[in-house]
Amino acid sequence: MKFSKATNYALHTMLMLVEASNLKPIGVKQLAESQNVSPTYLSKILTRLVKAGMIESVSGANGGYRLSRKKDDITFLDIIHAIEGTTSLFECDFVHGEECLIQAAMKEAEEKMEQHLKQTKLADVAKKQTKLKS
């Protein structure tokens, strides 16, 4: 199982925004440079996060992006859904009549993973990162 690079960039970008939540907005160029990614590519990711209601875009000379939700309310699953969508990772293509047992096993595993990601708050990861930097 593999998430897209966009999810990787989104998670790292959101972590940066959580760490800077009390500061002024961060520009896309600065966010992109910190991850060695194109500002154009990152802008597309940021647009998805804005549409999901997690961040907001601030216009002007001192503009950029900042959190629009409480940092304690943002989970890994929220970010992943904003980038990847909410479709299942596994879909059985065979016609079995009753529910496919393989599909059921995969669905159960996905639900457990989603539950873990739902409990993993970005703010908690930021706290751990701050402790590592100290």
- pLDDT for the residue 130: 80
CA distance 15 to 21: 10
- pLDDT for the residue 1: 67
* Phi-psi sector, 97: left (phi>0), alpha (psi -120 to 50), beta: left
CB atoms within 10 A of CB 8: 14
Residue ranges and CATH numbers for the domains of the chain are 5-133 (1.10.10.10)
Task: Give the N- to C-terminal CA distance of the chain in Å, as an integer.
Answer: 34
Residue 63: DSSP 8-state: -
What are the helix (H) ranges across the chain? Answer: 5-19, 28-35, 39-51, 76-84, 101-119, 122-133
CA distance 109 to 19: 32
Q: Are 49 and 98 in contact (CB under 8 A)?
A: no
Residues of the chain under the 70 pLDDT cut: 1, 21, 97
Cα-to-chain-centroid distance, residue 25: 18
CA distance 38 to 58: 20
Q: Are 64 and 21 in contact (CB under 8 A)?
A: no
